[in-house]
């Protein structure tokens, strides 16, 4: 999943692709590098982000989605938003997937679920529970994350969303201490207990600088590739990244190694 940030303040590429033509040029590059789908976001959700209006978010994302849907009709497009108005505009423009950082547990969750059901869209349900930070440092975060994601799945089921249109994201960097981020990355395989495909979004995030102190986002590619390879080893199927070609190569090598080692991929 190639990241296309149509924003002015994203932590790594804010402002680079804000103009329509710049966004389309970047999208074409991601596709040329081998992206299987694109995730378009009009508002940063980095720590300390400033919320923008739905109208502004729509003005940033809908034209890009409409142009990409026309140019790449077979390419799945995702809208990264938690606002129903933005999701509705994106679906009308040609998006196929709603990527909700609140996992349908935010105030707009029911409306987002309804939109997905009516449009026949898929959803990414991300773990984002600040209460997790309140756990004692020696408490395993996995049971809490599993329970929270199961609540998201229950909400999706109540809304009528089929399970085969749901992907789960452990939400690295959202509502977690760095120790909890690392604990999750070390045991991503435990999340297969829920039985849904997994998406990992860790590209160039601060957890890498936690392990390698002082690294700015532009210097975190190697750390991202290491985490991608380790996630493939644990059966993670989708990887949300800035650098498609490099991560695809790392994923392919890790997958080839996993097969040679006789590891069995999770059955989904």
Please provide residue 221's backbone torsions phi and psi, each rounded to the nearest 5 degrees: -65, -45
What is the pLDDT, as a whole number, of residue 265?
A: 53
CA atoms within 13 A on the CB side of 21: 0
The DSSP string of 90-148 is HHHHT--EEEETTTT-STTHHHHHHHHHHHT-EEEEE---GGGGGS-TTS-SHHHHHHH
Q: Where are the domains of the chain?
A: 2-259
Spatial CB neighbours of 197, under 8 Å, sequence gap ≥ 6: 167, 168, 237, 238, 268
Spatial CB neighbours of 212, under 8 Å, sequence gap ≥ 6: 220, 223
134: exposed, middle or buried (Cβ count in 10 Å: 0-12, 13-18, 19+): exposed
Helix (H, G, I), strand (E, B) or coil at 85: helix
Geometric angle at alpha carbon 240, from 150 and 226, rounded to 5°: 105
Integer Rg of the chain from CA: 18
**Is the Cβ–Cβ distance between 124 and 167 less than 8 Å?**
yes
Superfamily of domain 2-259, CATH level 4: Dihydropteroate synthase-like (3.20.20.20)
What is the pLDDT, as a whole number, of residue 69?
A: 98
Using CA atoms, how far apart are residues 6 and 2, in angstroms rounded to an integer? 13
Strand order in the sheet with 166-169: 2-5, 38-41, 77-80, 97-100, 122-126, 166-169
What is the pLDDT, as a whole number, of residue 52?
A: 87
Using CA atoms, how far apart are residues 258 and 234, in angstroms rounded to an integer? 9
What is the pLDDT, as a whole number, of residue 67?
A: 98
Give the mean pLDDT per block of 10 residues along the chain (268 residues): 88 76 96 98 80 94 98 98 98 98 97 98 97 93 98 98 98 95 97 98 95 94 97 97 97 94 59
Distances, alpha carbon 241 to alpha carbons 40, 133, 170, 172, 247, in Å: 12, 25, 15, 13, 7
Closest CA to 204 of 247, 248, 242, 254: 242
Q: Which residues are catalytic?
A: 205, 240
**Is the Cβ–Cβ distance between 169 and 127 less than 8 Å?**
yes
């Amino acid at each position: 999943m190639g990241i296309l940030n149509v924003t002015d303040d994203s932590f790594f590429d804010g402002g680079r692709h804000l103009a329509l033509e710049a966004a389309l040029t970047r999208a074409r590059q991601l596709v040329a590098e081998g992206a299987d789908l694109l995730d378009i976001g009009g508002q940063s959700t980095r720590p300390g982000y400033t919320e923008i209006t739905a109208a502004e978010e729509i003005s940033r994302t809908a034209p890009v989605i409409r142009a990409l849907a026309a140019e790449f009709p077979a390419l799945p497009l995702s809208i990264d938003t938690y606002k129903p108005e933005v999701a509705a505009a994106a679906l009308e423009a040609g998006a196929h997937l709603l990527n909700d950082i609140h996992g349908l547990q935010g105030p707009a969750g029911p409306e987002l679920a309804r939109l997905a059901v009516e449009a026949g869209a898929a959803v990414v349900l991300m773990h984002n529970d600040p209460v997790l930070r309140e756990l004692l440092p020696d408490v395993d975060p996995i049971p809490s994350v599993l329970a929270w994601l199961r609540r998201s799945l229950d909400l999706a089921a109540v809304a009528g969303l089929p399970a085969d249109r749901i992907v789960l994201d452990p939400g690295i960097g959202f509502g977690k201490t760095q120790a909890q981020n690392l604990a999750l990355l070390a045991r991503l395989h435990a999340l297969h207990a829920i039985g849904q495909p997994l998406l990992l979004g860790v590209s160039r995030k601060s957890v890498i600088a936690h392990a390698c102190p002082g690294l700015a986002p532009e210097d975190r590619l190697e750390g991202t590739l290491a985490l991608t390879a380790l996630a493939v080893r644990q059966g993670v199927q989708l990887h949300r990244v800035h650098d498609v070609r490099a991560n695809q190569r790392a994923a392919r090598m890790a997958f080839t190694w996993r097969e040679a080692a006789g590891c069995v991929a999770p059955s989904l």
